[in-house]
């Protein structure tokens, strides 16, 4: 037998032992999305099918179109940026505004505002101490708290109005003053709850001991509580360190003790700080390069057609939205996480997925969690407990927010136009509208409507104030 014949027999034997499963595994795997054009269908390649873009196809994968939209947005904004550079040149100066701000004596008023709000914080602490020691009555203490908290807001407003400075520094200082106002409100409100709880505990203990003597504000059972827990019993929480931890921490709602982390992550802390500095300067650059040149053109055209003015305002909608999104990341992600890490504050829920909002009610509840918690804790629930209806209470919360939005913008610009307040109050009827759109057309259309009003509504109100300031200053 020749060598060639031996090889042929071995090859036949090898083919005979090859299993059918091995043959199936050797076949190429076809994608399920495409028709199966195998040999049995070479002469018949058509069957009953519908197009993927038809409503009844139940096809859900449109990620390619989403990527196309991303590319279009990038190209469109690149074109806007190039047109801006071509028309106005390079306008970014990061050091000059800071120097100008410090050289203007009127801006020094803003520094005094930052100092004086510390006085109101100490006043709040000492009012509560006087109540706890029975030096002043509870009713007198309430009046003092109301006067002190109100003065912590109105004093900075009066100073900024009487000594007008650059709007941007006044805007920042006024936001800090409003944050202190909300914190001091919460401090007084929460300590009243702790004081009432301490009185109830003291009365219960005296009743168990059969004594008629009730120490209304004394700490109950100090011998039975360890030292750390004693610090968290009213009035032992009324210390300067406890107050200033609350004033510095990223929360508007006062509690005796917050959840804490075990250590400080220095790399995380450094990243958040660098992000905050970079995004702050980036916002200034965007304002100088995109916003101010358009406003200067608006000033030159203020005696021309109103349609041209409307075009200029609409041209600022995209840059303003980018600045708004950048400001959100700067404040709610970078800066608040930096403060939380530095103070070992463990509750980092500063926002939720507001970008997926299908109605305006969820948007306003999710995009600013500290404000939302404060409104629920100190306005919404107390008013419900007082017997007000949910509809009236919800409107009251929006009215409260509208007033402060108006104050934040009108006071630094030295004029009241009520654009921002009306924009906030319009959110009340927009809530059922967005819910109806979501119910009838689907969640995607509800989300698109929310995004549309973010881009056109709220930023347009801010731009209306700035344009008005530029036209009539």
| Cα–Cα distances in angstroms (integers) from residue 6 to residues 10, 13, 14, 17, 34, in the given order | 6, 11, 13, 17, 45
Spatial CA neighbour of 318 closest among 447, 456, 445, 423: 456
DSSP state for residue 288 in the 8-state scheme: I
- Exposure of 241 by Cβ count < 10 A (0-12 exposed, 13-18 middle, 19+ buried)? exposed
| DSSP element (H, E) containing 426 | none
Distance CA 197, CA 233 (A): 10
Q: Residues 442-471: pLDDT tens digits?
A: 888 888 888 888 887 766 776 677 667 665
| Range scoring the smallest mean pLDDT among 68-82, 233-247, 396-410 | 68-82
Instruction: Give yes or no for residue 397 having a pLDDT over 80.
Output: yes
Spell out the residues 6+ positions from residue 41 whose beta carbon is closer than 8 angstroms to its own. Answer: none
Distance CA 446, CA 75 (A): 26
Instruction: Give yes or no for residue 409 having a pLDDT over 90.
Output: no
417 against 402, higher pLDDT: 402
Spatial CA neighbour of 73 closest among 451, 382, 360: 451
* Peptide bond between residue 309 and the one before it cis (omega within 30 degrees of 0): no
Q: What is the pLDDT of residue 101?
A: 67
Mean pLDDT, range 145-162, rounded to an integer: 90
Q: Residues 97-144: pLDDT tens digits?
A: 667 766 766 667 777 888 888 999 999 999 999 999 889 888 899 999
Q: What is the pLDDT of residue 23?
A: 45
With tokens 């708290």, the residue in question is: 145
Distance CA 24, CA 45 (A): 23
Q: Residues 26-74: pLDDT tens digits?
A: 444 444 455 555 555 556 667 777 887 777 777 777 778 888 888 888 8
Average pLDDT, the chain: 79
Q: What is the pLDDT of residue 214?
A: 41
Spatial CA neighbour of 116 closest among 76, 164, 159: 159
Q: What is the pLDDT of residue 345?
A: 93
Spell out the residues 6+ positions from residue 366 whose beta carbon is closer than 8 angstroms to its own. Answer: 351, 352, 353, 354, 357, 372
**CB 120 within 8 Å of CB 321:** no
Q: What is the DSSP code string of 325-351? A: HHHHIIIIIIIHHHHHHHTTB------
The upper half-sphere exposure of residue 433, i.e. CA atoms within 13 Å in the direction of its Cβ, equals 10
Residues with catalytic annotation?
Answer: 405
Extract the tokens encoding 6. Answer: 């031996």
**CB 370 within 8 Å of CB 179:** no
Distance CA 186, CA 180 (A): 10
Spatial CA neighbour of 149 closest among 178, 114, 129: 178
Q: What is the pLDDT of residue 41?
A: 53
Distance CA 210, CA 219 (A): 18
Distance CA 281, CA 129 (A): 43
Single pTM value for the model: 0.78
């Amino acid at each position: 037998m020749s060598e060639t014949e031996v090889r042929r027999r071995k090859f036949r034997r090898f083919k005979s032992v090859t299993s059918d499963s091995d043959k199936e595994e050797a076949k190429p795997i076809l994608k399920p999305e495409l028709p199966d054009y195998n040999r049995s269908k070479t002469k018949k390649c058509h069957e009953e099918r519908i197009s993927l873009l038809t409503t009844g196809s139940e096809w859900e994968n449109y990620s390619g179109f989403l990527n196309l939209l991303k590319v279009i947005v990038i190209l469109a904004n690149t074109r806007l940026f190039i047109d801006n550079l071509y028309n106005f040149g390079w306008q970014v100066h990061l050091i000059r505004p800071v120097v100008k701000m410090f050289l203007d004596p009127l801006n020094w008023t803003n520094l005094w505002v930052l100092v004086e709000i510390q006085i109101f914080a100490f006043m709040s602490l000492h009012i509560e101490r006087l109540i706890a020691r029975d030096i002043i009555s509870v009713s007198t203490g309430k009046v003092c708290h109301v006067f002190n908290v109100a003065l912590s807001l109105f004093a900075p407003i009066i100073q900024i109005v009487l000594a007008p400075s650059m709007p941007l520094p006044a805007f920042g200082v006024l936001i800090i003053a409003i944050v202190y106002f909300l914190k001091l409100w919460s401090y007084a409100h929460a300590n009243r709850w702790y004081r009432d709880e301490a009185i109830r505990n003291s009365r219960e203990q005296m009743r168990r001991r059969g004594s008629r003597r009730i120490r209304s504000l004394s700490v109950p059972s100090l011998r039975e509580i360890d030292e750390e827990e004693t610090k968290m019993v009213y009035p032992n929480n009324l210390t300067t360190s406890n107050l200033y931890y609350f004033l510095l921490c990223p929360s508007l709602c006062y509690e005796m003790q917050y959840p804490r982390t075990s250590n400080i992550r220095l790399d995380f802390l450094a990243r958040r700080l660098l992000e905050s500095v970079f995004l702050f300067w980036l916002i200034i650059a965007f304002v100088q390069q995109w916003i101010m040149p358009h406003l200067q053109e608006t000033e030159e055209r203020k005696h021309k057609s109103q349609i041209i003015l409307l075009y200029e305002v609409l041209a600022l909608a995209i840059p303003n939205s980018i600045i708004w999104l950048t400001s959100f990341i700067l404040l709610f992600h970078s800066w608040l996480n930096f403060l939380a890490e530095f103070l070992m504050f463990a509750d980092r829920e500063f926002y939720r997925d507001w970008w997926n909002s299908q109605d305006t009610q969820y948007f306003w509840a999710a995009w600013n969690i500290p404000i939302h918690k404060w409104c629920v804790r100190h306005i919404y629930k107390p008013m419900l407990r007082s017997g007000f209806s949910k509809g009236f209470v919800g409107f009251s919360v929006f009215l409260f927010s509208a007033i402060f939005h108006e104050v934040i913008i009108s006071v630094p610009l030295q004029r009241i136009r009520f654009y921002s307040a009306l924009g906030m109050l319009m959110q009340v009827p927009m809530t059922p509208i967005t819910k109806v759109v979501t119910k009838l057309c689907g969640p995607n259309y509800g989300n698109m409507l929310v995004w549309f009003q973010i881009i056109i509504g709220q930023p347009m109100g801010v731009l209306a104030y700035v344009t008005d300031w530029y036209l009539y200053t």
